[in-house]
Amino acid sequence: MKRILVAIATLAAGFCASMPAMADMQLATTRNCMACHAVDKKLVGPSYKDVAAKYAGQPDAVEKLAVKVMKGGAGVWGPVPMPANAQVSADEAKKLIAWILTQK
């Protein structure tokens, strides 16, 4: 019985630890980010892994990139501009960017 409880607790801890990553992927999907971006390959825009590598160690990256998510931008990754995303709130943009910057 004790082994079963330990196994259940271990599985529950693993599931809970993976929840934020799944939730942020879900947010990226519901806010249409995945229409132009993928975690590990370039689509219309850069992969999230490439974004994380480019902005690694930059203390202002979350703030700077959250503004780009909401207002759009151009020229950083090539000629295709990133459109403004008015449906994304400031808090959601920061949450998305924080998640993107963890991609390795």
**CATH superfamily, with its number, for domain 23-100:** Cytochrome c-like domain (1.10.760.10)
Alpha helices in the chain (DSSP H): 2-30, 48-54, 61-71, 90-100
Q: C-alpha angle 87/31/36, rounded to 5°?
A: 115
Whether 81 shows a pLDDT value over 50: the answer reads: yes
Q: Is the pTM of this model over 0.85?
A: no
Whether 71 shows a pLDDT value over 90: the answer reads: yes
| CA–CA dist 24, 95 (Å, integer) | 7
Whether 85 shows a pLDDT value over 70: the answer reads: yes
Read off the pLDDT band of 2 (50, 70, 90): low
How is residue 34 written in tokens? 């995945």
| CA–CA dist 65, 61 (Å, integer) | 6
Read off the pLDDT band of 22 (50, 70, 90): low
Read off the pLDDT band of 50 (50, 70, 90): very high
The mean of the pLDDT values for the chain is 85
Other beta carbons within 10 Å of 90: 12
Other beta carbons within 10 Å of 59: 7
